[in-house]
Amino acid sequence: IAKAEEGVAWHRGSCRLCGVGCRVELGVKDGTPIGLRGVSESRTNFGYVCMKGMHFWKCMRHPDRLTKPLYREKKTDKFKEISWEQALDIAATKFAEAHKAGGGKAVAYYGSGQALTEETYFFQKVMRGGLQSNNVEGNPRLCMASAVGGYLTSFGADEPIGGYSDIEKAHCFFIIGSNTAEAHPVLFRRIMRRKLDNPNDVKVINVDPRVSQTSRIADKHLQFKPGTDLALLNGMANVIIQEKLYDEGFVTTYTSFKKGKGEESNFDEYAAQVAKYTPEMVAKTCGDAFTADDVREVARWFATSKGTLSLWTMGLNQRKQGVWANNLMHNLHILTGQLMKDGADSLSLTGQPNACGGVREGGGLCHILPGHRPIEVEKLRNQVETAWGVPAGRIPEKPGMHTMAMFSAVNEGAIKAIWINCTSPVQSLPNCTLYNKGMDREDVFIVCTDIFHTLTTKKANLVLPTAFHFEKTGVYGCTERRSQLTRKAIDSPGDARPEVWIIREWAKKLAEKMNDPVITQCIKPFEGLEEGYALPKAIWDEYSQKLTANRDNDLRGATYKVLEQMADGVQWPAPTEEYALTGGTVKKFVKGRDPMADSESKNDLPYQFYGPAHPDRKLWIWQREQADPEEIPDAEYPFYLSTGRIIDHWHTMSMTGRVPELLRANPYAYVEVNPKDAAKLGIKPGDMVEVKSRRGVNLLPAKVYEGPIEGMVFVYWHDQHEDRMINKVTKDAYDPGSKEPEFKICAVQVKRVSGP
Ligand code: SF4
């Protein structure tokens, strides 16, 4: 080992993939990455990494890396290599022209939960402060906007109260709409360890229409007909009330009751509303795959455990009733007081490494400014304008376009120039054939910044090669309010450059072409700074020091200096460096909590954060009824389709599809069919099967096993192949509040086409 390690330098950072935030070290020898390992001091992953995390570095030097700016005037032309000078000039010219034609509404930025916070923050600063456009969006709209809506409406503030440290103290896990074992493997390992070490003292409940690796460790797995889980959550609340298992003191002290759009309600009204969800009614509504006694039993486990930790992801979020589903999840925690104590939390897991830090907190969605500021509040807009030194009123007062509206506007040609950073909407939007049309228009100019060609770069006019992870410096903020720094360890191949440099140089040209000194003002603090460290640090300093002060995500203590010292980073709020060096705040809303203590609170901390953030300082329990998804099976389209992730791949496979080990493990998508349905349809394992909706069709090999509940098929969404791109089939209905699409449920035909 010593010989193999000779000359190898290990550089610490965060994993580039899912939202767990595992701390890793990249081994570099002679300027080339040679391996990756987990950081054993990390209290997030304790040295472990999953197979995706372990292998992703292998795509860093893949021959497909984009290394030169590429341009074509017409989308039917071939790309040709051009210089950075030419590329930035073209990008600035096209954005200036689009702006002249239609103002801020005609330009857009579509980003990613994989971009560093500095990148998202800087892009949105130039868009809002420079181009006066709130068309700043990102792919987290597709995966966790409903979680944001749920936290805001139930708790009055975005992001969870607790975090991962509750896992080791929980006595009941309620995992709903999440295949944690495959989507968040290292976190699942902690849950499994907790269960295996305490088999009689810890219960695991899994609620999912599909048998998964997660359900295999469950004491009770409730399978249900897709789209009926709101009835189950209401039914559990009903049992808890009927059997007087709720925490009366907690409810009296901390709770308000709401209905409709926020009208006042009360406990009795709420109890009457959920009373119709009897265990018998719930079991029937959910498809009779579990019994009324199962509902009673899980409700009792949930309410009476010494600490209940709920975890969910897309199963609740990617729904037309996504915010309501989140509300109902929070209701159970508020009702039972399973919050703000050890082992108890209502914890929405994040899909991407920086969806929370960069996009939710850094201003990367169309309706929010940095520091969780709602854009419509003038005072809050003015705070941002003051911090940037731009004139009052510079930021438009109305939110920009959310994702589905943005790509509809591209379809219509109303958006004339769009910058797509580090994401591939051509593959990841629901009903993607419809939303891809506009990207072929010759009058829509598309810039993509990425490390590889994707299905989206192939529709662009200009493709700019960017630095990859560990080739640049910046911060990721993971699921549990934790910010972590990754420093540049190696140079990028060819002419690839960090986004922060690209934005600054583009904005410089934009200012010249538009003759607008306010754009110059937006980049002035960052002029002349070296791109590997000084530039991202200056951007982080501006954001954290000027725009998170006295906000709930106070990051003033999480300076680069502090983050470099912390194995795991810092959980906000963390207003001073001294406090941040203790790790930050483990439980927000809890006065004087010692972040590193196992149980007892200390009261000598410099920072105390009092109570929830609704104006009445209460947590809100909402009346929300069971409601059907937008599309349910009928005689013509008789099956439910649900989509999801598998352990070996990540998003659109642009990275994991280039790692031989991961590609071999799962080379292509398939359709999972329940054996009873397969028998009815004459489908055998390996047969080619057509999965067709009203929007599109896939041709997929069949996997026949008792995974999906009868009447439902399942397909993972990573595959880029034309015949297996399942978002051609999914539906583009979305939650009216969060605007998050309903990827999880639509109606399809399933037909055997040929043998293996
Ligand atoms: Fe990376 Fe997520 Fe795997 Fe951790 S669990 S190594 S963050 S992909």
What element of type H or E holds 86?
A: helix 84-102
Query: Which residue among 17, 356, 645 has the greatest number of ligand 1 atoms within 8 angstroms of its CB, and so is best to mutate?
Result: 17
Give dist(CA 439, CA 427) in Å, integer.
12
Taking residues 556-576, what's their average pLDDT?
A: 95
Give dist(CA 543, CA 527) in Å, integer.
16
22 C-alpha to ligand 1 centroid (Å): 6
Pairing type for strands 417-421 and 107-111 reads parallel
Give dist(CA 535, CA 544) in Å, integer.
14
- In single-letter form, the type of residue at position 207 comes to V
> Bigger pLDDT: 636 or 601?
636
Tens digits of residue pLDDT in 389-440? 999 999 999 999 999 999 999 999 999 999 999 999 999 999 999 999 999 9
Question: 183 CB less than 6 Å from ligand 1?
Answer: no
177 is in an annotated binding site: no
- Whole-number percent of the chain with pLDDT over 90: 90
User: What are the residues whose beta carbons fall under 8 Å from the beta carbon of 431, sequence distance 6 or more?
Assistant: 695, 696, 727, 728, 730, 731, 732
Q: What is the pLDDT of residue 551?
A: 86
Residues 210, 214, 216, CA angle at the centre, nearest 5°? 85
Which numeric CATH code is attached to 70-143+354-546?
A: 3.40.50.740
Q: What is the pLDDT of residue 554?
A: 92
* DSSP states of 483-523: EEEE---SPPSTT-B-HHHHHHHHHHHHHHHHT-HHHHHHH
Question: Among 61-65, 444-448, 717-721, whose mean pLDDT is lowest?
Answer: 717-721
Q: What is the pLDDT of residue 596?
A: 35
643 is in an annotated binding site: yes
Question: 349 CB less than 6 Å from ligand 1?
Answer: no
Question: 590 CB less than 6 Å from ligand 1?
Answer: no
433 is in an annotated binding site: no
Pairing type for strands 639-644 and 712-716 reads parallel
Ligand 1 nearest-atom number relative to CA 53:
6
Query: Does 88 score more than 70 pLDDT?
Result: yes
Question: 22 CB less than 6 Å from ligand 1?
Answer: yes
Query: Does 705 score more than 50 pLDDT?
Result: yes
Q: What is the pLDDT of residue 608?
A: 46
Q: What is 639-754's CATH number, 2.70.98.10, 1.25.40.80, 2.40.40.20, 3.30.470.10?
A: 2.40.40.20
CB 739 within 8 A of CB 402: yes
190 C-alpha to ligand 1 centroid (Å): 13
Q: Long-range contacts: 536-542, Cβ < 8 Å, 24+? A: 536/116, 536/118, 536/472, 536/473, 536/474, 536/498, 536/500, 537/473, 539/118, 539/121, 539/122, 539/500, 540/117, 540/118, 540/474, 540/475, 542/387
The phi and psi torsions of 653 (rounded to 5 degrees) equal 65, 15
Torsion-angle region of residue 155: left (phi > 0), alpha (psi -120 to 50) or beta?
alpha
Count of C-beta atoms within a 10 Å radius of residue 604: 6
Q: What is the pLDDT of residue 611?
A: 61
**Residue among 444, 332, 410, 411 nearest 75 (CA):** 444
Which residue's alpha carbon is nearest to atom 1 within ligand 1? 53
Query: Does 599 score more than 90 pLDDT?
Result: no
Which residue's alpha carbon is nearest to atom 2 within ligand 1? 18
**Residue among 693, 677, 681 nearest 634 (CA):** 693
Tens digits of residue pLDDT in 488-538? 999 999 999 999 999 999 999 999 999 999 999 999 999 999 999 999 999
Question: 351 CB less than 6 Å from ligand 1?
Answer: no
What is the biggest distance separating any 2 CA atoms in the chain, rounded to whole angstroms? 71
Q: What is the DSSP letter of 79?
A: P
What element of type H or E holds 207?
A: strand 203-207
pLDDT category at 606 given cuts 50, 70, 90 is very low
Cα dihedral 171, 177, 182, 187, rounded to 10, equals -30
pLDDT category at 280 given cuts 50, 70, 90 is very high
Q: Which two tokens stand for residue 745?
A: 């449920």
Ligand 1 nearest-atom number relative to CA 186:
5
User: What pTM did the predictor assign?
Assistant: 0.96
pLDDT category at 720 given cuts 50, 70, 90 is confident
490 C-alpha to ligand 1 centroid (Å): 21
Query: Does 71 score more than 60 pLDDT?
Result: yes
Cα dihedral 200, 206, 210, 216, rounded to 10, equals -20
Pairing type for strands 70-71 and 462-465 reads antiparallel
648 is in an annotated binding site: yes
Query: Does 13 score more than 80 pLDDT?
Result: yes
432 C-alpha to ligand 1 centroid (Å): 28
Q: Which two tokens stand for residue 215?
A: 């359900």
Indicate the average pLDDT of the chain: 94
Q: What is 145-348's CATH number, 3.90.320.10, 3.30.1330.10, 3.40.228.10, 3.90.930.12?
A: 3.40.228.10
Question: Among 192-201, 458-467, 572-581, 588-597, whose mean pLDDT is lowest?
Answer: 588-597
Q: What is the pLDDT of residue 610?
A: 54
pLDDT category at 151 given cuts 50, 70, 90 is very high
144 C-alpha to ligand 1 centroid (Å): 18
Tens digits of residue pLDDT in 231-276? 999 999 999 999 999 999 999 988 999 999 999 999 999 999 999 9
Give dist(CA 148, CA 738) in Å, integer.
8
Cα–Cα distance list, 336 to 160, 209, 246, 600 (Å): 17, 26, 5, 21
Q: Which two tokens stand for residue 63?
A: 């021959």
Query: Which residue among 16, 45, 56, 164 has the greatest number of ligand 1 atoms within 8 angstroms of its CB, and so is best to mutate?
Result: 45
Beta bridge pairs of residue 222: 207
**Residue among 685, 665, 681, 669 nearest 752 (CA):** 681
Domain ranges of the chain: 9-59, 70-143+354-546, 145-348, 548-618, 639-754
15 C-alpha to ligand 1 centroid (Å): 6
Query: Does 607 score more than 60 pLDDT?
Result: no
20 C-alpha to ligand 1 centroid (Å): 6
Query: Which residue among 55, 184, 190, 651 has the greatest number of ligand 1 atoms within 8 angstroms of its CB, and so is best to mutate?
Result: 184
Q: What is the pLDDT of residue 42?
A: 94
Which residue's alpha carbon is nearest to atom 4 within ligand 1? 22
Q: 9-59 has which fold? A: Phosphorylase Kinase; domain 1 (3.30.200)
CB 45 within 8 A of CB 20: yes
Give dist(CA 635, CA 415) in Å, integer.
39
Give dist(CA 377, CA 275) in Å, integer.
39
Give dist(CA 624, CA 467) in Å, integer.
46
Q: What is the pLDDT of residue 591?
A: 62
Q: What is the pLDDT of residue 594?
A: 40
Give dist(CA 458, CA 440) in Å, integer.
10
662 C-alpha to ligand 1 centroid (Å): 14
718 is in an annotated binding site: no
CB 239 within 8 A of CB 299: yes
Question: Among 119-123, 400-404, 548-552, 597-601, whose mean pLDDT is lowest?
Answer: 597-601
Q: What is the pLDDT of residue 592?
A: 52
Q: What is the pLDDT of residue 242?
A: 98
356 is in an annotated binding site: no
Taking residues 683-701, what's their average pLDDT?
A: 97
Sign of torsion over alpha carbons 464, 470, 473, 475 = positive
Question: Among 56-60, 293-297, 373-377, 752-756, whose mean pLDDT is lowest?
Answer: 752-756
Question: 185 CB less than 6 Å from ligand 1?
Answer: yes
Ligand 1 nearest-atom number relative to CA 21:
7
Ligand 1 nearest-atom number relative to CA 54:
6
Query: Does 598 score more than 90 pLDDT?
Result: no
Q: Which two tokens stand for residue 257?
A: 């009751």
Taking residues 619-636, what's their average pLDDT?
A: 97
